[in-house]
Amino acid sequence: MATLLVATLGLDLGSIFPSNLDAPKSRLVRASRTGDFAAVRRCFLDHDADELDLDSALDAASAHAHMGIVDFLVRFGATDLDSALLSAASRDHARVVAYLISDDRRNPATNTREAQALASNVGAYNCDWLLTAHRWEQRRGQ
């Protein structure tokens, strides 16, 4: 339960649920959370990358299992896959978790131990098993 508390406190809720909805980064996060892929693309077309908060948008898309948007944001430069992994694992989004830890990523999420403990504590059984198997394979490969 302590892991859940630490993971929850580590989330930047102000970025995931922004108060200024007209700011470019807020529009990107909102579109990522709701799964509006057209609005996500529009944010990239209308604004410079430094105006957008890709990592918070990745967290929001991961938390709501919008796989297409997760892939899009990672390809366009989102780097905080560890936080996104916790967001997806806590809600048992196994497909997103598998994507984030995949060796196909240049820099896959590395906090699999914390994510597995979080998934186990909140009853996210699919992610718990997936992360346990992934960690087991990593140990066997060493």
Tens digits of residue pLDDT in 38-55: 999 999 999 988 889 999
Query: What's the pLDDT at 97?
Result: 98
Domains in the chain (CATH in brackets) are 2-141 (1.25.40.20)
Q: Which tokens hold the place of 141?
A: 């490969």
Contact 72, 97 (CB under 8 A): no
Query: What's the pLDDT at 126?
Result: 96
Query: What's the pLDDT at 20?
Result: 60
- Alpha-carbon distances of 46 from 6, 14, 38, 105, rounded to whole Å: 36, 23, 12, 27
Amino acid type, 40: V
Q: Which tokens hold the place of 139?
A: 């140990």
Q: At what angle do helices 67-75 and 54-63 cross, to 10 degrees?
A: 160
Q: At what angle do helices 67-75 and 24-34 cross, to 10 degrees?
A: 140
Query: What's the pLDDT at 110?
Result: 94
Contact 65, 59 (CB under 8 A): no
Give the span between the Cα atoms of 36 and 22, in whole angstroms. Answer: 16
Query: What's the pLDDT at 12?
Result: 53
Amino acid type, 20: N
Q: Mean pLDDT per segment of 10 residues, for the chain of length 142 residues?
A: 52 55 84 96 91 95 97 95 97 97 91 95 96 91 70
Give the span between the Cα atoms of 99 and 62, in whole angstroms. Answer: 10
Query: What's the pLDDT at 85?
Result: 97
Query: What's the pLDDT at 141?
Result: 76
